[in-house]
């Protein structure tokens, strides 16, 4: 299994949390992360401590929120060496309301944040088109093969991980290591699961589209077509806008 570089769960710039937020507020935030595919069914959530640090609340608040998610059938706790809290479902009554409360009433603010993220990825792809080496091309092609294989198998957890791995290889091709943290900090603005990307809820058409767009981005980078690499990468990131908009507007 592809294991992307360790994910940070630093809180994103969602609707700001009030001082001493209620458990229901944290439940909404975690529900939103599940509904938008930041954490897919079958995946293990970060530990209580990591979640508490990422959302800037106490562990007891996170524990109570996780119990509410468990009661709603969204997660379950498994004991043992490979235990933890695992996502069971990503759809259900009232989940769209949680997303609307978390991301705020003004969809334009969210689109603005995602626009900044898109510009970041676009500039990275442009730099990769200029600076890549043959070794970089081999690494990007290998990452793309793993991603497409996961999509073809309809293994969404593996595909999500491989997607991050592919984008990491594009960043590597810029030969500017500091860009890894720059991009992650941008992703954290809307995604508590960064560097894993928003993945929606079981939409195979989005997965196939992502595979197609990845191929086009790689072709542009390999051809050293900096303009196409920039434009294609920016458009690719706008899938996040579509996924979240569909949930909010449902």
In 10 A of CB 115, how many CB atoms?
14
Locus of tokens 């995602």: 114
CATH number for the domain running over 23-103? 1.10.10.10
Structure pTM?
A: 0.82
Q: What is the pLDDT along the chain (250 residues), one digit of tens a residue?
A: 444 333 333 334 344 455 567 888 888 888 888 888 888 988 999 888 888 887 778 899 999 999 999 998 889 999 888 889 999 876 666 666 777 776 665 667 778 888 999 999 999 999 999 999 999 999 999 999 999 999 999 999 999 999 999 999 999 999 999 999 999 888 877 777 777 788 876 667 889 999 999 999 999 999 999 999 999 999 999 888 888 877 777 6
| ∠ CA 202-207-212, rounded to 5° | 170
For the chain, the domains span 23-103, 107-249
CA separation for the pair 53, 75 (Å, rounded): 20
Measured over the CA atoms of residue 195, residue 200, residue 204 and residue 207, the dihedral's sign is negative
Check if CATH label 3.40.50.150 holds for domain 107-249: no
Instruction: Give the distance, in angstroms, between the CA of residue 173 and the centroid of all CA atoms in the same chain.
Output: 21
């Amino acid at each position: 299994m592809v294991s992307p570089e360790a994910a940070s769960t630093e809180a994103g710039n969602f609707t700001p949390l009030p001082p001493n937020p209620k458990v229901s507020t944290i439940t909404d935030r975690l529900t939103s992360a599940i509904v938008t595919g930041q954490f897919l069914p079958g995946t293990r959530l970060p530990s209580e401590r990591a979640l508490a640090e990422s959302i800037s609340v106490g562990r007891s608040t996170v524990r109570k929120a996780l119990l509410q998610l468990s009661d709603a059938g969204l997660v379950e706790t498994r004991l043992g060496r490979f235990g933890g809290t695992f996502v069971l479902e990503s759809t259900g009554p009232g989940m769209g309301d949680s997303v609307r409360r978390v991301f705020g009433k003004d969809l334009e603010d969210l689109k603005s944040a995602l626009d900044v993220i898109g510009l970041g990825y676009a500039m990275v792809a442009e730099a990769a088109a200029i600076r890549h080496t043959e070794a970089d091309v081999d690494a990007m092609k290998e990452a793309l093969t793993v991603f497409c294989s996961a999509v073809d198998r309809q293994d969404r957890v593996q595909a999500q991980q491989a997607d991050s791995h592919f984008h990491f290889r594009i960043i590597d091709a810029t030969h500017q290591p500091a860009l890894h943290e720059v991009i992650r900090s941008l992703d954290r603005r809307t995604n508590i699961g960064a560097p894993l990307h928003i993945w929606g809820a079981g939409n195979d058409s989005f997965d196939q589209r992502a595979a197609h767009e990845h191929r086009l981005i790689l072709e542009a980078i390999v051809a050293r077509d900096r303009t196409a690499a920039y434009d294609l990468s920016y458009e690719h990131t706008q899938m996040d806008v579509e996924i979240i908009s569909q949930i909010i507007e449902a």
